[in-house]
Structure 1
């Protein structure tokens, strides 16, 4: 394994690990705040118990996310020094603001965890809301930095030099809104289905049913509303990608040839040698419509992209198809849940509906991982789109493969530890709050 592949693999591993905890840190405090609000309004002890149980989970994920996020910040300088040398002064502002949001989140979480029966009840609830809001802002700010890599702004690139730097314009680049919107909703979908799925499993097992039913309802509502909104944000993102990164769109759809009334490709296996997609379902004109809002508009294909600037087609295509497929499954579950809420109340206690949510437990995070694969692999070979190639940014330091092996061992160990702690937490909840 050469340095370049090792550096990219380590970064992919770190991002893939951290994004799970980022999503949970952005969303679970809102679940916690809702159950806490119900406790204050109704005085039903089950909501107090639920809030305390969820807050302990938030603390576990926050600690793990803090560790993995700190590692990522060091890796940027270690693995991509040439990138940070030029890009740091341009998009450093969202990272510095993210640090501020992180500190606020940490302080608020400390207040919340140790504020029971010490603070005014509503102030105590407010500290929990601050945890969620600051976590959400942290996510948005980090995504703004990533969006800058996809849509560079806030500087002029003249004769290999970065001049006329405007950090504000860089932070609010043309891609930040669509990416932040899509990522935030994805976080709610992933975390909502994961939490609802865990509680659905406990209900199916007949353990502490009243407690888990209350938890399931809160998480399921967040998950299903977000699942319905996600295709709309996906449409916004697709149109942005079509305008600013046509090579990424072409790779996502394995769209080899420029054409009008371009077909949307569903599934299929890209044949790179013959430049076609086998075993795919194609909907004529739909790609043109989704990309440009018109069924006849021309969509740029890979034939107009120099070969040395084309993303890895197969990886991007499969990742995109996985993301969309999982999103549609969760959307279908959301539709069934809304039907249950409005028309078929008896479905809400049916085992088949609970089994669907249990089945969907990992789907949101798998979709998030696939989506980030599309975002990052689909931008290749660029680390700054159209400006700097990834290969030109990697560190010259030898032995990065050993760093990759070490980090892999650390992350696997962390994952095992987190799973063990969560398992113990769930068992403890059932013993403490059995009703």
Structure 2
């Protein structure tokens, strides 16, 4: 493995792990705050127990997210020094503000975890809300930096030099809103389904049924609402990609030929050599409609993009198809949940209904990983779209392959530790409810 591939692989590994920890750390505090609010309003002990259990999970993911995020910060300088040399002064502001949001989150979490029976009950609840808000703000600020790489603004690039730098304009670049919206909703959908799936499994096993049903309902509602909203944010993101990164969109759709009534490709195997897609379902004109709001206007295809500027087509296309398919699956489960909520309430106690959520536990995070693959691989060969190529930003330092293997071992160890801690936390849920009593919905 050469240095360039090792550096890219290490960054991909770090991002792949960190995004799971950070998404859960961003979203779980809101679950915790809702449960806490329900306890304050109803005074039912079950909600207090759910809140305390979830707060421990929040602490676990805050710690792991902090560690993996710190590693990523160092890796930017270690692996991509040329990139940081030029880009750092331009998009340093969102990273600085992200650090501020992180400190606020840490302080608020400390108040929350140790504030039981010490603060006013509503102030204590509010500190939990602050944990969630600052976590979301932190995530949005990091995504702002990434969106700048996809849509670089806030500077003039003249004769190889970056001048007239405007950090505010760089932070609020044209792609930041669509990416931040899409990522935030995805985090809620993935975490909601994952948490609901874990509690559904406990219900199936007849473990603390009342406790787990309350927790399941809170997490499921968050996940379902987010999954139904996600296609709207996806449409906004796709239109931005079409405008700012036509090569990425063409690779996502394996759209080889620029033509009127550009078809939307569903599935298929891209044949890059012969410039076609085998075994795909084509919907004529639909891609044109999704991009231009009419069925006839051509969408720029790969035939109008030099090969040296094209991203890896197969990887980008497959990742995009996986993301969309799993997103639609979650939305379908969401519709089933809504039917159960308003028409078929007996479904909540059906084995098939619980198994549906158990099976969907990892689906949202697989979709997130696929989506980030589209974002990062689809931008290649650029690290800064249209400005700096990835190969020109990599460190000349030798031995990056060894660093990649070391970090792989570290992240695998960290994952095992997190799984162990979460498993122990779930097992420690107190047996304080009578599992033989039927629950009400």
**TM-score (normalised: structure 1):** 0.99
Matched with 2:39 is 39
Secondary structure of the structure 2 residue equivalent to 1:281 = strand
CA RMSD of aligned residues (A): 0.9
> Deviation at 1:431?
4.5
Matched with 1:268 is 268
C-alpha spacing 1:343/1:114, structure 2 compared with 1 (3 Å): same
Instruction: State whether residues 207 and 430 of structure 1, in contact with CA within 8 Å, keep that contact through their aligned partners in structure 2.
Output: no
1:327-354, Cα deviation, whole Å (9 max, x unpaired): 0110000001011111111112222111
Matched, 1:164 2:195: no
In structure 1, C-alpha distance between the alignment counterparts of 2:429 and 2:345, rounded to whole Å: 28
Secondary structure of the structure 1 residue equivalent to 2:162 = strand
Matched with 2:117 is 117
In structure 2, C-alpha distance between the alignment counterparts of 1:54 and 1:100, rounded to whole Å: 24
Matched with 1:106 is 106
> Deviation at 1:433?
7.0
> Deviation at 1:429?
1.2
Matched with 1:328 is 328
Matched, 1:189 2:189: yes
Matched with 2:179 is 179
> Deviation at 1:69?
0.1
Matched with 2:310 is 310
**What are the residue-to-residue correspondences of 1:235-274 with 2, within 5 Å?**
235-274=235-274
Matched, 1:54 2:39: no
Matched, 1:405 2:405: yes
In structure 2, C-alpha distance between the alignment counterparts of 1:187 and 1:22, rounded to whole Å: 9
**TM-score (normalised: structure 2):** 0.98
Matched with 1:64 is 64
Matched with 2:148 is 148
Number of residue equivalences: 435
In structure 2, C-alpha distance between the alignment counterparts of 1:78 and 1:106, rounded to whole Å: 26
Matched with 1:220 is 220
In structure 2, C-alpha distance between the alignment counterparts of 1:354 and 1:175, rounded to whole Å: 38
Instruction: State whether residues 35 and 47 of structure 1, in contact with CA within 8 Å, keep that contact through their aligned partners in structure 2.
Output: yes
Instruction: State whether residues 208 and 432 of structure 2, in contact with CA within 8 Å, keep that contact through their aligned partners in structure 1.
Output: no
Matched with 1:137 is 137
**Higher mean displacement: 336-345 or 248-257:** 336-345
> Deviation at 1:292?
1.6
In structure 2, C-alpha distance between the alignment counterparts of 1:262 and 1:21, rounded to whole Å: 39
In structure 1, C-alpha distance between the alignment counterparts of 2:431 and 2:364, rounded to whole Å: 29
Instruction: State whether residues 211 and 434 of structure 1, in contact with CA within 8 Å, keep that contact through their aligned partners in structure 2.
Output: no
Structure 1 runs (4+) deviating above 2 angstroms are: 430-435
> Where do 5+ consecutive residues of structure 2 fail to align?
436-441
Secondary structure of the structure 2 residue equivalent to 1:87 = helix
In structure 1, C-alpha distance between the alignment counterparts of 2:296 and 2:169, rounded to whole Å: 34
